[in-house]
Amino acid sequence: MLRTTVDLAAIAHNVAVVKEAVAPARLMCVVKADAYGHGIERVAPVMEEAGADAFGVATLSEAVALRQVIPTAPIAGWLWDPHEDLTPALDAGIQIGIPSLEHARALIATGRHTEAFVMVETGMHRSGVDKHEWSETFAVLRDAPTITVLGLMSHFACADDPTHPHNDHQESEFREALACARDMGLECPINHLANSPAALTRPSARFDQVRVGVALYGLEPVAGREHGLAPAMSWESSVVAVKPISAGESTSYGLTWTAESDRYLATVAVGYADGLPRDVQGALHVGLGGELYPQVGRVCMDQIIVDLGSNPHGVEAGDTAVLFGPGGMSATELADAAGTINYEIVCRPTGRTTRIYCEGTSNA
């Protein structure tokens, strides 16, 4: 009844588009959070076949799970605490992100040979070796015979606004960190700063590798731009009932919406337990038979109400209801309605949602 459909051809198309756009930089495909809700088991092999040079995830447990799907390609993980057992990740050959001097020492203390990226603070102030510890961290890693530092990595805070001056500041800081690392004796052959928006709009920030996530799933990372991406996911449910409501009557919890005239309502099987934000009340438009109808009243745990007006197109129980995707709003439009970003929306479908895959052609 409630399902997401993932178009694998769209995934392959997006990888090819991005890879061509960023060449000759290497392409790291980010598949954290179960490939942004698209499913690593099916999506990651498609990305590899389409040209991925490496993969990235957040946590080391994600990296270990991904290794079962991607046996040989490089996989990096960067979210871990210094007291974490690194054995599973090291056994799987995961490249480790090092976000602090403490983390560097913890990795060295394992005595295991591993490849690593040093995460440097450049202005996002989330994670990364702070500037005053760059030299000491680089020296400690240089002198550790078990650690091969592949390069540096950092993350833009404002790349989705290509004109934001902080982008220049962060790129400058990254270049300074890279010069420092090389002065300290680290070769750093593979360095990556650019996320999806920076990879597509800021050639100077591509360095040796780009680290791309949301664009691979067909979501435009810069509002108002068009990079030829094909949205890969749609989210659909079913109409479970159509019933009349009289003028002056209200619907759903709190009776927050009242019918202005006699009309019909459709009940659709999806709610906040399935990941639909309650904040979409009154802003979501559901696709039914190629027409868009407003959702009204409060979003419930398991269902929503849709205003059909006089129901001129004869919507009935069993019809497909598109929450986002072809025939409905886009994920970006739903994100705007919910006051969030499209990254979050494609990670939302949970609960009773079943994921299915198609091998059709992309809709780019």
Q: Which of 19, 243, 253, 343 is catalytic?
A: 253
Q: Contact, 222 vs 213, CB < 8 A?
A: no
Indicate if 19 belongs to the active site: no
Is 126 a known ligand-binding residue? yes
**Helical ranges in 211-299 per DSSP H:** none
User: Distance between CA atoms of 66 and 70, rounded to whole angstroms?
Assistant: 6
CA 229 to chain centre: 14
Does residue 212 contact residue 29 with C-beta atoms inside 8 Å?
yes
Task: Identify the three-state secondary structure at position 251.
Answer: strand
One of 32, 36, 217, 264 is an active-site residue; which one?
32
- Please tell me the distance from the alpha carbon of residue 361 to that of residue 354, in angstroms, as a whole number: 21
Q: Is the peptide bond before 24 cis (omega within 30 degrees of 0)?
A: yes
Give the DSSP letter string of 102-167. Answer: HHHHHHHHT---EEEEEEB-SS--SSSB-GGGHHHHHHHHHT-TTEEEEEEE---SSTTSTT-HHH
Catalytic residue status for 32: yes
Annotated binding site: 126, 301
Annotated binding site for substrate: 126, 301
- Catalytic site residues? 32, 253
